[in-house]
Amino acid sequence: MPDAPPPAPAARDAAPGARRLGTRVLAAYGLPAFPLALLGLPLNVYLPAFWGDTMGLGLTTVGAILLAIRLIDGVTDPLIGWLSDRTHGPLGRRRPWIAAALPIAAPAVWLLLVPPEGAGALHLFATASLVYLGWTMVAVPYAAWGAELSPDYHERTRITAWREGATIAGIVGSALVPALVSGGIAADLRALALTMLALSVPGFAALFALVPEPRAPARRTPPRSLAAFLAPLGRNAPFRRLLAAWVVNGVANGLPAALFLLVVTHLLAAEARAGLLLLGYFVAGVAAVPFWTWLAGRLSKHRAWCIAMLWAAAVFALVPLLGPGDWLPFLAISVLTGVSLGADLALPPAIQADVIDLDHAESGSPRAGLFFAAWSMAQKAGNALAVGLGLPLVETLGFRIGPDGARGLGALVGLYAVVPIALKLGAVALMWRFPLDRAAQATIRARLERSG
């Protein structure tokens, strides 16, 4: 698909009705992302080992329960997005769902991470289901709220940059809290739960008090069913293209994440350095967010994202040169690839907001919640593919851990670095000529303004 034409002079200005958001509003919007990110490490890293080993359920049982809950997510994600888009009231469309989620999720987080003695499979299923339901009720409306804060092409990049910068900072915090506690997995989970719940109170209070929620635009004839509501997703070509690139790049990022500890332990023989390597990666991600925001303003969001993916692919090409003891060069690689993380998190959701404008202009129905629900499902699918395929595939290709060390390190390196390079190049091919740049988005916004 050809590039959109260069921006017309009028398109260089802010979108009609747009204003530059103040730092206080942006900080208040991004603040809840920090405690939410603190929950990511216990859910994705600690939970299987804690419930499978410490609580004695076994990894097979825990895996089956968590898989069942993920399947339920496939229903709740679009449902919450649909309902959120259809909500109208004095509190807006997004606030009521986030407010309703907090009393559901907060006690469930505590009971999941700090369970009573003797808790079993039913306790795990019930509490984890409520945590993931609460997560969806917060995450989908929260992302949609950010997309609706401004109609301006570049202002949306600032909004997502604040939110995803706070997300990366929260991930860094989730790694630091256990390091400060150092009391075993149960003590780590208790500390993370306490920290997350305590920081959630001021975070969401600031969101509700300081961040305006734009009034929902008037709709034409609203869809009568969820199926009718979902149909436009398939008809929106830029959305399909963006979503495909998001999933492909998600697998490209998920494979190294799933194989990271294996690489550090068996390729580099530097297991004790794993925490430092992760810290360097995430700190670089936080530090680079302002740069990618600036570059997106100079070029376009999709081109800046492509440059970030090309940068990560170039740096990953150095991994096959490493061997035992090379943790310092690998630290440099971690920092340099971490730089691209800020773009991966901040820019695609900002592009998604422009895609939602296109749907709104064509359908007359504002449904950011639905699109971000599909976005959430795609993210989960990418993570599931990376873990579900990556770990079995590395063994199928010959990687084995034995009493005399690991065999098949070539397979491990190939899946850790070479396959992600190919995937990122595929994502770049999808996005390089993405049709919605600043000029195209300005045209869409003007069309929406004219339709009222």
> pLDDT tens digit string along 22-37?
889 999 999 999 999 8
Cβ of 6: how many Cβ atoms within 10 Å?
Answer: 10
HSE value, Cβ hemisphere, 13 Å, CA-based, for 307? 15
Q: Which pLDDT does position 209 carry in this prediction?
A: 92
Strand-pair partners of 84: none
Spatial CA neighbour of 261 closest among 64, 44, 425: 44
Lowest mean per-residue pLDDT among 170-179, 194-203, 288-297, 363-372: 363-372
Q: What is the mean pLDDT of residues 259-270?
A: 84
pLDDT at 7: 37
pLDDT band, residue 306 (cuts 50/70/90):
very high
pLDDT band at 334 (very low <50, low <70, confident <90, very high): very high
Q: What is the pLDDT, as a whole number, of residue 449?
A: 75
Q: Chain-wide mean pLDDT for the chain?
A: 81
Which of 41-50, 232-241, 342-351 shows the lowest mean pLDDT across its residues?
41-50
**Is the Cβ–Cβ distance between 324 and 269 less than 8 Å?**
yes
369, 82 contact by CB (below 8 A): yes
Class of the CATH domain delimited by 230-452: mainly alpha
- Residue 68 CA: distances (Å) to CA of 63, 76, 125, 167: 9, 13, 9, 26
The predicted pLDDT at position 257 comes to: 80
Residue 71 pLDDT: 75
Which is it for the CA torsion 80, 82, 88, 93, positive or negative? positive
pLDDT of 294 over the 80 cut: yes
- The domains spanning 22-214 and 230-452 adopt the same CATH topology: yes
205 contacts: CB under 8 Å, gap ≥ 6: none
- The stretch 236-260 carries a mean pLDDT of 85
Using pLDDT thresholds of 50, 70 and 90, give the confidence band for residue 104: very high
Which of 62-71, 167-176, 220-229 is most confident? 167-176
| CA of residue 23 relative to chain centroid, distance | 23
**Which one of 57-66, 232-241, 328-337 scores highest in mean pLDDT?**
328-337
CATH number of 22-214, picked from 3.30.450.20, 3.20.10.10, 1.20.1250.20, 1.20.120.1200? 1.20.1250.20
99 φ, ψ (degrees, to nearest 5): -65, -40
Q: What is the DSSP letter of 406?
A: E
Predicted local distance difference test score (pLDDT) of residue 1: 32
Query: Dihedral of CA 60/63/69/70: which sign?
Result: negative
Report yes or no: 450 and 20 within 8 Å, Cβ to Cβ: no
Q: What is the pLDDT of residue 336?
A: 95
Q: Does residue 13 have a pLDDT over 50?
A: no
Q: Rounded distance, CA 152 to CA 170, Å?
A: 27
Instruction: Give me the residue spans of the domains in the chain.
Output: 22-214, 230-452
Question: Beta-carbon neighbour count of residue 177 at 10 Å?
Answer: 18
Report which of residues 324 and 279 the model is more confident about: 324
Q: Is the pLDDT assigned to residue 259 strictly greater than 90?
A: no
Kindly state the DSSP code that residue 274 receives in the 8-state scheme: H
Cα torsion 206, 343, 97, 214: sign: positive
Q: Residue 247 and residue 15: Cα distance in Å, rounded?
A: 29
Query: Distance between CA 69 and CA 386 in Å, rounded?
Result: 18
User: What percentage of residues in the chain have a pLDDT greater than 90?
Assistant: 30
User: What is the predicted pLDDT for the residue at 419?
Assistant: 93
Q: Is residue 148 predicted with pLDDT exceeding 70?
A: yes
Residue with tokens 């609580």: 55
Of the chain, the percentage scoring pLDDT greater than 70 comes to 86
Mean pLDDT lowest for which of 90-94, 229-233, 303-307, 337-341? 229-233
